[in-house]
Amino acid sequence: MNGTQPYIPRPGERIATPDRFKGSRMAELKIWWREIDRVLLFLILALMAIGTAAVAAASPASANRLSTAEVRLPDLYFYWAHLRWQFLGLIALFGASMLSRDNARRLGILLAAGMLALLFLVPLIGYEVNGAKRWINFGIGLQPSEFLKPGFAIALAWILSWRLRDPNLPVIALVTGFMGIIGVLLMLQPNLGETLLFGGVWFVLILLAGVSVQRIAGLVGAGIAGLTLTYFLYDNARNRIDSFIGGGTAFDQVDLAERTLLAGGWTGSGLWLGVRKMNLPEAHTDYIFSVIGEEFGLLVCALIVLLYLAIVVRVLVRLADEENLFVLLAGAGLATQIVGQAFINILVNLQLFPSKGMTLPLVSYGGSSTIAVCLAAGLLLAVTRRNPFLTRETPGLRAMLQDKLSQDERKRT
């Protein structure tokens, strides 16, 4: 002790203290900017920017269609609402993208567990929209399957990554059972489109996990049998498939969407100058691609397709030499989920696929589903983060898998 007394501030006196957190926050932002895939971030933001203009074009059609004699919705009602949802979506996107890979994995697993629990509650406390019970009211309508999508991809990647630690673990049975439970719960709503999307993500991930060709053939056969049963047991699916194959009057919105899409030619009729869009159901959500075709032209539609393809290519390039099996599977699963949904929506608008009631991710108005798809994009950015100055000390994932498969072959022989 030196005999000095500690200084006690007088009441109301402020003590100047160093800002310990400002520097750390700036350092974290610098690390994030250095590690993030800026090309992928640009592609995602470009699609969201196109979506802002597209919802502005589609909003008058949907507002007019949903207006009543008592309540008249403003022409830009859905546009202003979309801006609010996009703002929240951007917070979710950037917040998720700043997570480490481990924290992104933890968040995805928690999402999968929480949304699966809510999916069990949908038949009990959910409410119907357009004949389907898919939403739960928490003050705002929440569709658990939308938030389950990113969690599903990450949870499956996590389970399948156990294969490298112990090839004898029944990971394929576990993820197949998980998929089966989700498929049953979605078909109870009913929701065939989401079931197919989840099935597509599951199939891509088990392919990448190194499943044998014989087992893949068996799974494909089981999938075909399931779709055949769905046709005979699920009236809505049968009606839409029959309409898609032979045409019809009660389920002909796909034909209307295609005619709207082609009405603008290559360069479009111009913003708010489209006419056919006024007859489209769900112009701001399911059929926004057709509105883009009429008002902005087929060239802009082609640009959107190229942007989605660029996301796939960019993710594949980013993951080509990835050493971590979980990261490879999670990145591939999230990219499949986002781009797979996009191409289902586009094929429906082109009359190449039966109507599925699915939005165009990052482009359509979607309410809380806008937050969900932005969260998925943010998690994709998080798992593909990479330190550009980190040197490789291992031979890479391709060599790891080949070595593991050769070990399995030696064990069997």
Task: Provide the pLDDT for residue 155.
Answer: 94
Alpha carbons 199 and 49: distance in angstroms, whole number: 30
Phi, psi angle pair for 166, to nearest 5°: -150, 100
The Cα angle at residue 39 between residues 324 and 399, in degrees rounded to 5: 25
Task: Provide the pLDDT for residue 163.
Answer: 79
Task: Provide the pLDDT for residue 394.
Answer: 42
Average pLDDT, consecutive stretches of 10 residues, N- to C-terminus, the chain (413 residues):
55 52 72 88 95 92 82 89 94 93 93 92 80 78 89 93 80 89 87 88 86 66 67 59 53 72 83 82 87 92 95 89 85 94 89 78 89 94 80 47 58 59
Please, which residues have CB within 8 angstroms of residue 265's CB and are 6 or more apart in sequence? 297, 298
List the structure tokens of 268: 């479009």
Task: Provide the pLDDT for residue 396.
Answer: 46
Task: Provide the pLDDT for residue 332.
Answer: 92
Is 140 in a helix, a strand, or coil?
Answer: coil
Task: Provide the pLDDT for residue 149.
Answer: 93
Q: Please write the tens of the pLDDT for every residue from 338-351.
A: 999 999 999 888 87
List the structure tokens of 212: 């044998």
Task: Provide the pLDDT for residue 286.
Answer: 86
Task: Provide the pLDDT for residue 320.
Answer: 80
The string over 343-367, giving b where at least 16 C-beta atoms fall within 10 Å of a residue's C-beta and e elsewhere, is bbbbebbbbebbbbbbbbbbbbbbb
Domain ranges of the chain: 43-386+398-412
Say what the pTM is: 0.83
Is 132 in a helix, a strand, or coil?
Answer: strand
Q: Please write the tens of the pLDDT for every residue from 224-248.
A: 776 666 666 665 555 556 555 555 4
8 Å CB contact between 290 and 261: yes
Q: Tell me which residue of 353, 337, 343, 387 sits closest to 152, measured CA to CA.
A: 337
